[in-house]
Structure 1
Amino acid sequence: MSPCPPGCCCPRPGFLVLCESLNLRSLPRSVPLSTSALSVARNQLCNVDHLLRPFSSLQELSLSHNLLARFPRGLPPSLESLLLQENRITYITTGALRQLVNLTHLDLEDNHIRAIQPGALQGLIRLQVLTLKGNNLTGLPRNLPPSLTHLDLSANCISTLDLPSLSPLVNLQVLKINSNCLRSVPDRAFDGLPRLRSVDLTDNLWVCECDILYLYRWLLSARLKVATDLVCTEPVHLAHRPLLNLSLTAICPRVLTPNERTPRSDLNSALGRKLATAKPTERSSFDNMEDLGNMPILKLSTDAVFSKDVPETRALLEHFTLQTLTYEECLFLNRTQSVSPSHLKTVTYLPDEEQKHRDNSSGRYPQSSTTSAGETQSLLSTDRDAPWLTAAPRQFTQQNSAAVISLLTVLCVLVTLLVLAVLLVLRLVLRRQMRVAPLDAGSAG
């Protein structure tokens, strides 16, 4: 039986040695070299470099709650678990962990780490649990080992999730990044983590605007254990509100429009112009404009309106198809963003050039240098040949009525002037007759 150091506890002498809370400033000299688990936690150790190398069988080591200012050097390669929480470590260099190839658990919680050199943890090919909670990190450590299954980065100053650092963690199961300074999450941040089953993102500085839509949709569709009580800090009108209590349009009002300057009321007219300028072969997938007009615009798919050979018109409608909406978002849109079917019926499906000709006072279609009489006649053919030109009789009626009213007004004015002129002529004639009559009476006497 190996002796137990004075003041220490040795449940299994020579294998498990606990020398905790003894105010030690150096390692006990009588610790057996065959020890496999050693704890010298809650002491006043400042430097243990190269003092533990002779312990070739050491697998578990706790140096927590001491005064270490840097990562200890010269640790035995046999270590599998290393606990260094609540020390004064400020940085980790590339060579500090080079020999610890068997390490599976590393705890650096509540230190002052502000920098980890790229690749410092890369050589830990068996590392599964890494705890960096309560430090001063501003970003994810670079070149983390793919073997990680649990990563705790909570209570740091991390403001962005670096995709190159996160994507290699294909075995990651638990991620804690709560209590940081995250404002949004980049697109596809969690898509490359197939084994992820638990994520904690609470207590961050979430900005509930368009950049957070990926996280918003991911939280709604995620089938894993995730803290969903994320609270917005910006913009001001959404501050202190839970993210998942907001609607899609409240977060990003322009999500349903192609750009911020295009109001939603212009959607129907834009679609109408595309329908008008499309060739007959491009409109072969639909024959009845009335049926198309009865469909809500948000339900239209590009394949139902145009053939796949028209990329330009497909691009137009793809701005307005909400294929990525979740069920909850769809219910919200049905309540607040539904479009009246009559909008499509009142669109004039005419080319822009002919529409300009319709605006003149005569209401005719003058022939341009690029349009022949035969082409004009074909454009004004029967409904069967060109149903897309006769889809708006109401607008034609309104324009004709305005022209008739204008003509009637002009005619009324002309009739009034003519009546006044006749009355004036009659008055002049009567005056002349009255002057001639007395002269004729005097000559007769």
Structure 2
Amino acid sequence: MSLLSAATSDLDYGGVPLWINRFRGERSVFTLRECDCPIQWPTALYCEHRGLGRLPAGLPSRTEYLFLQGNMINGFGSGVFTNATILRWLFLDRNQLLSKKLDRMPLSSLTRFVNLFINHNNLTEVPAGLPSTLRQLRLAYNHIEKISSGTFQNLTNLNLLLLQGNQLKTLGENDFKGLSILNLMDLSHNHLDTFPKHLPPSVQQLYLSGNVLTGMSSDSLQGFSGLHYLRLNHNQLKSEVLHPSTFNVTSLVELDLSYNQLTQIPVVPTTLQYLYLEVNNIGEFNVSSLCQTVGPMSYSHMKILRLDGNKMAEYQMPPDWVYCLRVIHNFYI
């Protein structure tokens, strides 16, 4: 491995660097044989990409950040974190974790634990026994088919939940009960054919891209107290089974409906700033969908509007669209 690749290979999926350059210093005085512990960051233990089949035994008591991604770990027992009582972050991405091999995720006694990464494993269920201190739970690209009622009941501090790339088909009324401050929820690339009800009302960023949704009712978004970002691209949404006022929610800032089967522009609030409708079957620009009325103080605050890849051309635009879209920055048609 080159110096460059060693320093850039471990990135979070959002591009946030999680690495430290191990070539700038030497190992700290005490560490495990299977791992590295940079002297500049003695609370971090790097055991990633080592071909490990189990968690290292005897974790140092100072361990706060444990990097184990890219190994062959399929489970662990109840005593693995007995000595690591101040553990805060655990990275288990790209292992071979199986739900039946997890002993109720022996983390419940860790009073400082906040972030758990288990993306790209073989889990069929959300791990049980997670600590109430948890703030971020990343379970993307596993094989989770259902969520048991009450699974998240204890996770009252969770603000980010990633479940994209699983095999969820339906969601029950109590599946997310307890998530009182959840901010971001990603359910993209599952098999959902109905917009899920009973989602946490605190959610501000909701991603449902790449499912098989065909329609939504007028009250689908009414349960949210401050939904700002909604992504529904790459579904099968049709105008005839989509209530026309579904998206007329004043808290929305960004709405992505691209790559669907819409034939009309849905009604959106004038406060919406980013609307993506590219690659649908829209054949007419209806000004009233964006501006119910037009006046000196009544106009759309839209900054970006994408309508490219539809069945309409610029010469078909009605002349009064400029009075509605007064502050538009980018308009694609």
**Matching residue of 1:246:** 284
Q: Within the alignment, does 1:158 sit opposite 2:180 as a pair?
A: no
**Matching residue of 1:7:** 34
After alignment, is 19-28 or 149-158 more displaced?
A: 19-28
Instruction: Report the CA distance between 1:23 and its aligned residue.
Output: 0.8
After superposition, the Cα gap between the structure-2 partners of 1:9 and 1:174, relative to the gap in structure 1 and judged at 3 Å, is farther
Instruction: Report the CA distance between 1:2 and its aligned residue.
Output: 11
After superposition, the Cα gap between the structure-2 partners of 1:4 and 1:155, relative to the gap in structure 1 and judged at 3 Å, is farther
After superposition, the Cα gap between the structure-2 partners of 1:6 and 1:182, relative to the gap in structure 1 and judged at 3 Å, is farther
Q: Deviations over 1:320-364 (max 9, x none)?
A: xxxxxxxx64769xxxxxxxxxxxxxxxxxxxxxxxxxxxxxxxx
Look up the SS of the partner of 1:226 in the other structure. strand
Contact 1:7 1:22 in 2 (8 A): no
Structure 1 runs of 4+ aligned residues shifted over 4 Å read: 1-6, 8-11, 328-332
**Matching residue of 1:362:** none
After superposition, the Cα gap between the structure-2 partners of 1:51 and 1:26, relative to the gap in structure 1 and judged at 3 Å, is same
**Matching residue of 2:14:** none
Q: Within the alignment, does 1:58 sit opposite 2:113 as a pair?
A: yes
Q: Within the alignment, does 1:229 sit opposite 2:278 as a pair?
A: yes
TM-score by length of 2: 0.64
**Matching residue of 2:243:** 186
The 5 A counterparts of 1:280-429 are: 329=318
Q: Deviations over 1:87-142 (max 9, x none)?
A: 11001122111111110000011011112111321320110000011101111221
Contact 1:156 1:179 in 2 (8 A): yes
After superposition, the Cα gap between the structure-2 partners of 1:2 and 1:189, relative to the gap in structure 1 and judged at 3 Å, is farther
Look up the SS of the partner of 2:185 in the other structure. strand
Unaligned stretches of 5+ in structure 1?
Answer: 233-242, 249-327, 333-445
Counterpart-to-counterpart distance in 1, 2:142 and 2:214: 24
Counterpart-to-counterpart distance in 1, 2:121 and 2:30: 25
**Matching residue of 2:257:** 201
- CA RMSD of the aligned region, Å? 2.7
After superposition, the Cα gap between the structure-2 partners of 1:85 and 1:2, relative to the gap in structure 1 and judged at 3 Å, is farther
Contact 1:135 1:155 in 2 (8 A): yes
Instruction: Report the CA distance between 1:61 and its aligned residue.
Output: 0.5
Counterpart-to-counterpart distance in 1, 2:115 and 2:163: 15
Q: Deviations over 1:175-227 (max 9, x none)?
A: 00100111023132122x32211111011122x2xxx46x1x549x6641111
Contact 2:250 2:272 in 1 (8 A): no
Contact 1:91 1:115 in 2 (8 A): yes
TM-score by length of 1: 0.49
Look up the SS of the partner of 1:166 in the other structure. coil
**Matching residue of 1:281:** none
Counterpart-to-counterpart distance in 2, 1:39 and 1:69: 19
Question: Which structure has the larger Rg over C-alpha atoms?
Answer: 1
Counterpart-to-counterpart distance in 2, 1:228 and 1:168: 24
Bigger relative CO (Cα 8 Å, ≥ 6 apart): 2
Unaligned stretches of 5+ in structure 2?
Answer: 1-27, 45-62, 287-316, 322-333
After superposition, the Cα gap between the structure-2 partners of 1:77 and 1:8, relative to the gap in structure 1 and judged at 3 Å, is farther
Contact 2:117 2:138 in 1 (8 A): yes
Name the one with the larger helix percent: 1
